[in-house]
Amino acid sequence: MKAELSMKSEPSESSIKPFADNWTYLKAELAWLDRVLMRAMARQRQSNQEIDRVARSAADKATSHWWKGFITLDPAKGGSQLKPESASQPVHILGRYGDRIAVSLAQGIPLAIPTLCQRLSLDKFERDLLVLCLAPEISRRYEKLYAFLNNDDSNCKQPTVDLALRLFCRSDAEWRVARTTLHPTAPLVKTKILELLPSLSSARSMLARPLQLQDNAIDYLLSEDMSIDKIVPKPRVRKNRVATKNQESESEPV
């Protein structure tokens, strides 16, 4: 009986609704991003309130990153009232909407971000990074959200490396791995799809650098029919290898 119930609870491929097009898929990703940003803004507002309540000087505010760990604030007196996030559920290999993505691709519906992730073997953080950086190209309201969440004097309206790591990494181990995806040899940077711009403030660390998608990458990610080969060309076969193979085939006895 239990086995029958479990079989009934699993959705069949025919019952999974594909995305109508790339734009519908992007709207679903933006809805997810909105939830992530709203949680982050709630945490930051709570943190700012705690700092303003306890700090007695500008120096106290500047050093709040370490003294907050030693001071426990009562929620009734301004302490954190945010509930811890529930443990994440297993994620489909194709991402948050993996079942729908798989059905869409099987039906020939082009979805830019999933296709790019498959071509470059991108991981979850890199996929989320694409959504984060693409959002301001769809709505400028994200610029205001990023300026608030960057939480520095530069008023940067683009996501910074620091913001991306804070939003999408849940542990030190994830943070360290995610940071390597922004190295010059990492796929998104090496293919020049993503660029790390110079910091807009006096800070010179990698964390302070804004992230920007290249124009051709933006065009592809928003397009319904642009070929991925426009931004990630297929690897070319070297002529000397082709010539060697031809010579080998000619030297073989008939």
- Give the span between the Cα atoms of 171 and 29, in whole angstroms: 23
Q: What's the pLDDT score for residue 202?
A: 75
Helices marked H in 151-238: 161-168, 172-180, 187-190, 215-222
What is the pTM (predicted TM-score) of this model?
0.75
Q: What's the pLDDT score for residue 245?
A: 55
Q: What's the pLDDT score for residue 15?
A: 85
Q: Give mean pLDDT in consecutive 10-residue pieces for the chain, a chain of 254 residues.
A: 46 79 97 95 76 56 47 43 48 80 94 95 96 97 94 88 95 94 96 93 87 97 93 72 56 55
The answer to whether residues 100 and 143 touch, using CB atoms and an 8 Å cutoff, is no
Q: What's the pLDDT score for residue 155?
A: 84
Helix (H) or strand (E) holding 196: strand 194-196
**Tens digits of per-residue pLDDT, 31-89?**
999 999 999 999 887 766 665 555 555 555 555 554 444 444 444 444 444 444 444 55
Q: What's the pLDDT score for residue 79?
A: 42
* φ/ψ bin of 238: left (φ > 0), alpha (ψ from -120 to 50), beta (otherwise): beta
> What DSSP state is assigned to residue 210?
B
The answer to whether residues 117 and 48 touch, using CB atoms and an 8 Å cutoff, is no
